[in-house]
Amino acid sequence: MESLNQLEPSNDAEWLVLARKKLGLTQGELSVKTKYSAITISKIENGKTSMTPYFKQQMSVLLQEKEVM
């Protein structure tokens, strides 16, 4: 699978969709892991809201854990 760096998403929405798919999670599953609602995740993925720095940090940790496994 291509890394997220190779795909170079152009915005937070694209990045989150790619990251979530790389993790193999649904929006609902990601909401449990991040403690953000599935509605908020959907809004980010649809470009209706931005990721907070804390959310980005959580996603980075999840992606790093995936790489280690």
The structural domains of the chain, ordered by start, are 12-68 (1.10.260.40)
Residue 26, token pair as written in the block: 């649904």
Q: Around Cβ 63, how many Cβ atoms within 10 Å?
A: 15
Residue 2 confidence (pLDDT): 47
Residues of the chain with pLDDT under 70: 1-8, 68-69
Residue 36, token pair as written in the block: 């953000």
Residue 46 confidence (pLDDT): 96
Q: Say what the pTM is.
A: 0.80
Residue 66 confidence (pLDDT): 84
Tens of pLDDT along 25-42? 999 999 999 999 999 999
Which residue is listed with tokens 């980005």? Answer: 56
- E-strand stretches of 1-69: none
Cα 19 from Cα 63, distance rounded (Å): 7
Cα 12 from Cα 33, distance rounded (Å): 18
Residue 9 confidence (pLDDT): 73
